[in-house]
Structure 1
């Protein structure tokens, strides 16, 4: 690998080293020329073309995923004749299908390109959303929710992986934040859209909740179909780059090879991901934090109705809650990137969520409960954004990352099978059980950040000790190799 880097070295006087790019120490002489001004222009170009898509596509996904929460207050359960906890089962089976298909989608994206794999999953889930508007019973709904989970499962880890292949580690937090921004905005606009559709009432013999799925499904098909032509294949072959810019991205990849690795596939990368305890600890944290995340996204209108608001009020009252969450999300992501610190930001974020659920548990006052939802939104999205970024920062090479990120995501998404069950209608109006479980999970998630920090710091310290002793190779590959420094 080092010989490849030396061959690519430029004769120019100006050079940017790996240690300067990623805070990762490498032996001297491993420098590749990158014109810093041109690099800034190219990264700005990626931002210009990529960030709108990184926001819009997950926005559509979250709308299609969470609209069942809005449909519930429209009479979804009564219309389909659901009984007991069948509504919760519909959500459970949706998240269960995530667990199986996330890794194949992301590995396929690395193999065949984001411009092919992601649009296929997008268009398919849009058609499933559209079809949900015509279901007639519990069985049909279960079948479509399974398919929705299958086709949606690759989006979040796929986009996170794509970001990790384009941007330097210290710049990824703000970009991943756009994915979670989409989630927050979809909650806000989802409530607004649902409110408008609810005002439509029945049309052409179809209830308002059916029109919610039909309209959003039709819009999704069109927007997601366009992504086939607008998403780049990968960082080095993006359609919007000039020949000179593609060459720069190739040199940049060589410069960052210590983090990204090369494109040569080896089966060893798969067990490398499955054997890394770091991924499982992070997945445990994400599992815990995703229970309140999924519960919040799916049941916020239901929780507000339980506080005494009408179903119509519940839909539009979600809007300012999600906007507040978006503001804090970007503020925290900027701090995390600027100070190159993931652990501290991720550790602090759950405090707001814990306080929010504590207030919701401690009082039946509608105003206090509504304020508590602002606190929850202010921490839920921040924590998950930073944790996702942190795991992507610390896996090498790309092929291990293409397995590790969806493995992490699939394990954490098992939580959806729990979050969909913790707000049963029998627990109305206070929903003590769901709020108490969400609070407890946030406490565990916060504790887990400390464990990850200690693990990664220990790995860095052991590597540094070997370097100080003059060791040049510890016999390990990927991020466990001596030349890789974990970002904390």
Structure 2
């Protein structure tokens, strides 16, 4: 699992006194390890899917609310709707690092469950806003509350699974985004059918109902999410001992539990984090734009009434299937760059088609191609970065830093589909196709950066160099990047 070996002759499990390390590596029973991994798949992955699904529902339901009369209800003018959508990402990108550091310090169960409850209450509040300024304030708070979930869960996954196992597990996160689009359309269709219950417009009920559901599930997560991989409540003592042994086995690149400021320096001075973040920013422009504005795009293609909501559902289904296929192949072949280079091609074709024609049926087909290209990209980008940041403390800072920069894409994507550009939305679709093209090009740049680092390490080792000044992190001589 690890790319390095430990030098200790013997390490004892402090809980049982059992020898965990004998010789150069800890002894780990593969059957018990597989049993533990299966339990994480069974108990943690479904929770991740549900929590991220709720997160996307509660942030992107504003797109369905727009179709239901959100702008008219608050008497919005010009680009005020786009501004409300944008404000979410202002606090979202600035609050990710402290949230993930809190997950590392206090555990995933407490920190992430409290985040879910907080944003759910704010979502309910969106159902009672009276004007533009109230909506702005709540979206700012919502972004701050949601900021920790995505990077916190990515970090949790990195502490549980081998690097070669992570793509299909990380795919749960964008998979949830695709499912949220499908569910969002179904929920929106059902709520629109309610009419004005209790004197509240359907768009208000959309926020209230989804917020109440999220509060309940957030409370449950407090007791069902594991605090750490090695202390998960559903593992027996043998399995916990194995997870502790795995932690020891990977200590050479995951690092000790004690935080030191040098890890902050490692993350903030690594060019890889910033280049990969720009790559992810391009992926985010396509993802956030598609997830929030698909109903708007379909409306611009001539679909009326509730059609934009329920016609969007099959597009998300296609996105889900291609996401699962691409990430499974990437894990099986242990290739990241190759699949990431190819993945956006359907989106490039899809956006080009919708730019070239106003035909509703052809444009609708193009949206399927866009979905097929968008969702695999974001899972592969995140997995690639998650695989190549070490030790744990560097990852706990580097991942949210990477995501903070990449999530600026939310600010961009929320502004590129202004109402006055309808019905064709040439600006938004042009920006999306440009971003999709950039994904392939920047993938080559990142591949060359990491490959060049590995080549330098190989040359230094061949020359007999013992240290290069980066011991204990991914830039050290013994670490090999996943390409």
TM-score, with normalisation over the residues of structure 2?
Answer: 0.96
Report Cα offsets for 1:363-392 as digits up to 9, x if no partner: 111111001111111111101100000100
Paired residues of 1:235 and 1:249 also in contact (CA < 8 A): yes
Structure 2 residue 483 is the aligned partner of structure 1 residue 480: no
**CA positional deviation for 1:473:** 1.9
Aligned length: 474
Inter-partner Cα distance in structure 1 for 2:8 and 2:230: 17
Inter-partner Cα distance in structure 1 for 2:20 and 2:98: 36
Paired residues of 2:6 and 2:25 also in contact (CA < 8 A): no
Structure 2 residue matching 1:308: 3-state secondary structure: coil
Structure 2 residue matching 1:202: 3-state secondary structure: coil
Paired residues of 1:75 and 1:209 also in contact (CA < 8 A): yes
1:323-362 matched pairs, under 5 angstroms: 323-362=317-356
**CA positional deviation for 1:418:** 1.1
Q: Who is 1:212 aligned against?
A: 206
Q: 1:445 to 1:16 in 2, by over 3 A?
A: farther
**CA positional deviation for 1:3:** 6.5
Inter-partner Cα distance in structure 2 for 1:81 and 1:303: 22
Q: Who is 1:8 aligned against?
A: 11
Structure 2 residue matching 1:480: 3-state secondary structure: coil
1:455 to 416, 437, 449: 449
Q: Who is 1:321 aligned against?
A: 315
Range with greater deviation from structure 2 (199-208 or 252-261): 252-261
Structure 2 residue 388 is the aligned partner of structure 1 residue 388: no
Range with greater deviation from structure 2 (41-50 or 239-248): 239-248
**CA positional deviation for 1:122:** 0.5
Give the superposed CA RMSD: 1.7
Report Cα offsets for 1:17-66 as digits up to 9, x if no partner: 9xxxxxxxxxx953221111111011001111101101000011111111
Inter-partner Cα distance in structure 1 for 2:26 and 2:217: 40
Inter-partner Cα distance in structure 2 for 1:115 and 1:482: 35
Q: 1:16 to 1:436 in 2, by over 3 A?
A: farther
Report Cα offsets for 1:65-103 as digits up to 9, x if no partner: 110000000000001000010000001111111111000
Inter-partner Cα distance in structure 1 for 2:129 and 2:219: 24
Please list every run of 5 or more consecutive structure 2 residues that lacks an aligned counterpart in the other structure.
Answer: 14-18
Inter-partner Cα distance in structure 2 for 1:71 and 1:448: 35
Inter-partner Cα distance in structure 2 for 1:77 and 1:69: 11
Inter-partner Cα distance in structure 2 for 1:486 and 1:368: 42
**CA positional deviation for 1:16:** 12
Inter-partner Cα distance in structure 1 for 2:402 and 2:426: 29
Inter-partner Cα distance in structure 2 for 1:105 and 1:6: 37
Paired residues of 1:9 and 1:30 also in contact (CA < 8 A): no
1:20-419 matched pairs, under 5 angstroms: 30-419=24-413
Paired residues of 2:113 and 2:218 also in contact (CA < 8 A): yes
1:467 to 445, 448, 461: 461
Inter-partner Cα distance in structure 2 for 1:265 and 1:77: 47
Report Cα offsets for 1:381-439 as digits up to 9, x if no partner: 10110000010000011110000000000001111111111111101100011000111
Structure 2 residue matching 1:8: 3-state secondary structure: strand
Paired residues of 1:5 and 1:254 also in contact (CA < 8 A): no
Paired residues of 1:9 and 1:31 also in contact (CA < 8 A): no
Inter-partner Cα distance in structure 2 for 1:439 and 1:30: 51
Inter-partner Cα distance in structure 2 for 1:164 and 1:237: 15
**CA positional deviation for 1:258:** 3.2
Q: Who is 1:20 aligned against?
A: none
**CA positional deviation for 1:445:** 1.8
Structure 2 residue matching 1:205: 3-state secondary structure: coil
Inter-partner Cα distance in structure 1 for 2:457 and 2:370: 39
Structure 2 residue matching 1:305: 3-state secondary structure: helix
Inter-partner Cα distance in structure 2 for 1:311 and 1:184: 22
**CA positional deviation for 1:360:** 0.5
Paired residues of 1:258 and 1:484 also in contact (CA < 8 A): no
**CA positional deviation for 1:9:** 8.7
Inter-partner Cα distance in structure 2 for 1:405 and 1:474: 24
Inter-partner Cα distance in structure 2 for 1:376 and 1:88: 22
Q: Who is 1:445 aligned against?
A: 439
Range with greater deviation from structure 2 (471-480 or 218-227): 471-480
Report Cα offsets for 1:424-458 as digits up to 9, x if no partner: 11011000110001111111121110011001111
Inter-partner Cα distance in structure 1 for 2:373 and 2:5: 42
Structure 2 residue matching 1:100: 3-state secondary structure: coil
Paired residues of 2:5 and 2:25 also in contact (CA < 8 A): no
Please list every run of 5 or more consecutive structure 1 residues that lacks an aligned counterpart in the other structure.
Answer: 18-27
Q: 1:297 to 1:116 in 2, by over 3 A?
A: same
**CA positional deviation for 1:255:** 1.3
Inter-partner Cα distance in structure 1 for 2:27 and 2:193: 60
